[in-house]
Amino acid sequence: MTISKENFKKTFLEKLATMYGKSIEEASDIDKYMALASLVRDYINKKWVQTNKQYMESGEKEVYYFSLEFLLGKLLGSNLLNMQLTELCKEVLAELNIDINEIENLESDAGLGNGGLGRLAACFLDSLASLHLPGHGCGIRYKYGLFEQKIVDGYQVELPDNWLRDGNVWEIRKPDKAVEVKFGGNVKVDNVDGRLTFTHENYESVLAVPYDIPIAGYNNNTVNTLRLWSAEAAKKDFDFSSFSRGDYMKAVEYKYSVEAISQVLYPDDSYYENRVLRLKQQYFFVSAGLQSIVRRYKKKYKSFSHFSDKIAIHINDTHPTLAIPELMRILMDEEGMGWDDAWKITTNAISYTNHTIMSEALEKWPIETLRSLLPRIYMIIHEINERFCRELWNKYPGDWDRISRMAVIADGYVKMAHLAVVGSYSVNGVAKIHTRILKQEVMKDFHDFYPYKFNNKTNGITHRRWLLKANPLLSSLITDTIGPSWINHPWDLINLIKYADNSSFQDELAKVKLQNKSSLAKLIKDKYNLDIDIHSIFDVQVKRIHAYKRQLLNVFHIMDLYNRVRENPYLDITPRTFIFGGKAAPGYYLAKLTIKLINTLASVINNDKTIQDKIKVVFLENYSVSLAEMVFPASDVSEQISTASKEASGTGNMKFMMNGAVTIGTLDGANIEIKDEVGNDNIFIFGLTADEVLNFYHYGGYNAWDIYNSDSRVKTILNQLINGFLPNANDEFKNIFNYLLYNNDEFFVLKDFSAYVDTQNRLDHRFRNKSKWLTMGVHNIAHSGKFSSDGTINEYAVGIWKIKPVFISEE
Ligand SMILES: *Cc1c(COP(=O)(O)O)cnc(C)c1O
């Protein structure tokens, strides 16, 4: 498909006329955005029709990626990029005196996710389509995405994210493809000719209406589908019969209770919310998604015996685990299959990714909650558990301990991770160390029993959004230096290694970095009226605020540095700008207090004239995909300082690396694999190892007070939290003091403090050698191809899903 400039311009102007009845002079910016986006959408939709046609005809296996979260961000820029329209569009808009960046910024982020897990799902969709793979997303169309964060008086305030206010050009509502999802009620069991039948009665019916979003591959003809489900009152239940009975209020209440299901994303990250509505969300989209998959399958095939040769269903964390009993229900109750056949199909179709080893994030539902909300599903889970425990008994006769540890239902709960392992054919962790800990510790019993199910798939990020789109200056420099092959083969970035010590390349790289820092500095000046020195080290920690990610460790280093500079104004340090960003779950007190601490410290330091601007601290409000795209290209230092063993993989670490930032981090998650790629000279590693951390948890031997008493820096800093050094009217920071000392510092902030400060000092000295620092940056960019999600998705496709590319022809 080649589109000429003239044609593009003409179509754009026609769009303005047909959609709004306006000329270019009359059109508002939002009109222009809508016209442009719908024009791009039209090009995409043609390819979408062709893709669906070929998928229907080809008979190739397709994968469905089920995820409660898809953190897509804005779509206009990435769609222009993948459709190869970026340059053309820029030229045309420039001729019309329109700034494309301003137009792009009018789009709301699709913020249907909390953090890494949701962004991973979005990167995977981009890679599937770009690799010609038949793979689709299935999730919820939340009316409100992750809350918008405002900082008021240093505190986080949450505002609703009304991202659909101006409509969503990219989605298509498909009411004819709606399905019914049933909640509550009871199950009537009958014996029909010697066969048990199960009839769900007295249930509450919810209509699931799909909204499809096209996912265009990069420079190919593939357009896959992200299907997001919206909950609506079923017509037959919400109609005039209620009115005629005079039950108007009841009818309205019912409508709201149904719509509540897809109303809002739960704002918790690495933590699970034990609420019925959350469980309802999970079953709602899983049931709707599977019903539509089965319906489509039946259009193509007569028998279910090939189901798992044609369809793979992937569950992103345990949130969609009810896919296992739901597929069993559909196959048995609706398709008339027996247990054994249904079980075989289900366990050959479903695969599962584990995202965390932290117990507070492992989902479990009280039996009664599950049974009353989903009576038939509960019966099936109960049967799965009975059969599984019998199998365990055969292998481990008499070993009650082990059997109760492994049971799917135990201690009054249904354990979702156990159900996910038992009912799937593949269980993967998301970085080598995470998979190792799963096998050896958290899921050891399961690994003993099903060793063949476990495998690793290290996470990845799409280099198209995170380098090509987010950092056009660096992308051009790379292409000018090694040619454009890296765009389709990201591992070709390794060809940059030749230029690691090349001074003219380094000069160019330094210019690019400085320009990107200057853009971020401008944003900071405009938004916060704060001047930052673009020649200072931009030291950045952007991610969800969570105790295990240890923003506190970063803060304590800043406090120590500040104390040292105040003590000795001539102290020779490289000027630094510490940049933070991230949201705290609204109910997570310590995380919210950490935000207040950062902002309080920032106001003290940024207003202290005696330190000659050597240190600045900035908290960027409302961290989101769009803000992230500004931040990574402008970063010098990537803070990846989680307590070893806790960060399953991390993906922010990969985005920084790809943009030439150098990591300071622990041996945790994918940091280890980053270190293995770039080598010890091109990363700053410090702190306890995962084995050391796990040993302390198992055997004790750490006392936070010992460090407080023996390290005067630590004592000073902790005392500054409570002695009025930091102005805070409510004495709140004593809660951080108490948390660390009276809770024995469960994430080893104090234990790792000294090693962290030493390593930061080393980093400071290294930064002064400009050429050496740039060499490190080049090594990081050159090795980042390994972390493109194209590689990750290829491994999933070959190793788990067994899917092959389908090459889509031009319409
Ligand atoms: C990549 C990304 C994350 C994940 O960051 P981690 O550092 O891996 O926790 C979270 N939020 C956004 C907006 C991201 O782009």
Q: How many residues comprise the chain?
A: 811
Calculate the CA dihedral of residues 544, 549, 552, 556 and round it to 10 degrees.
-130
Q: Which fold has domain 59-74+109-424?
A: Rossmann fold (3.40.50)
- Say which of 481, 643, 651, 775 is annotated catalytic: 651
Q: Does the pLDDT value for residue 236 go beyond 80?
A: no
Ligand 1 pocket check for 143: Cβ under 6 Å: no
Name 759's Cβ contacts closer than 8 Å, sequence gap at least 6.
664, 684, 685, 686
pLDDT tens-digit series, residues 158-203: 999 999 999 999 999 999 999 999 999 999 999 999 889 999 999 9
The rounded distance, in Å, linking the Cα atoms of 780 and 772 is 13
Q: Does the pLDDT value for residue 353 go beyond 80?
A: yes
- Amino acid 361: pLDDT: 87
- Closest by alpha carbon to 635, among 592, 580, 688? 580
CATH annotation of 470-687+752-794: 3.40.50.2000
**How many other CB atoms are there within 10 angstroms of residue 334's CB atom?**
10
User: Best mutation site among 119, 540, 631, 640 for ligand 1, i.e. most ligand atoms within 8 A of its Cβ?
Assistant: 119
435 CA to middle of ligand 1, Å? 20
pLDDT tens-digit series, residues 626-671: 999 999 999 999 999 999 999 999 999 999 999 999 999 999 999 9
Which DSSP letter does residue 788 get?
A: B
669 CA to middle of ligand 1, Å? 14
Residue 762, CA distances (Å) to 569, 642, 759, 767 in order: 20, 19, 5, 9
The rounded distance, in Å, linking the Cα atoms of 793 and 460 is 8
Residue 195, CA distances (Å) to 127, 342, 426 in order: 46, 15, 32
Q: Does the pLDDT value for residue 322 go beyond 90?
A: yes
549 is catalytic: yes
Question: 667-694 b/e with 16+ CB inside 10 Å = b?
Answer: bbbbbbbbbebbeeebbbbbbbbbebbb
The alpha carbon of 782 is separated from its chain's Cα centroid by a whole number of angstroms, namely: 24
- Amino acid 273: pLDDT: 87
**Same fold flag, 59-74+109-424 and 470-687+752-794:** yes
Instruction: Report H helices in 358-408.
Output: 367-373, 375-395, 400-406
Q: Where are the domains of the chain?
A: 59-74+109-424, 470-687+752-794
pLDDT tens-digit series, residues 453-493: 999 999 999 999 999 999 999 999 999 999 999 999 999 99
Q: Where are the beta strands (DSSP E) in 607-745?
A: 615-620, 637-640, 662-665, 684-685
7 CA to middle of ligand 1, Å? 39
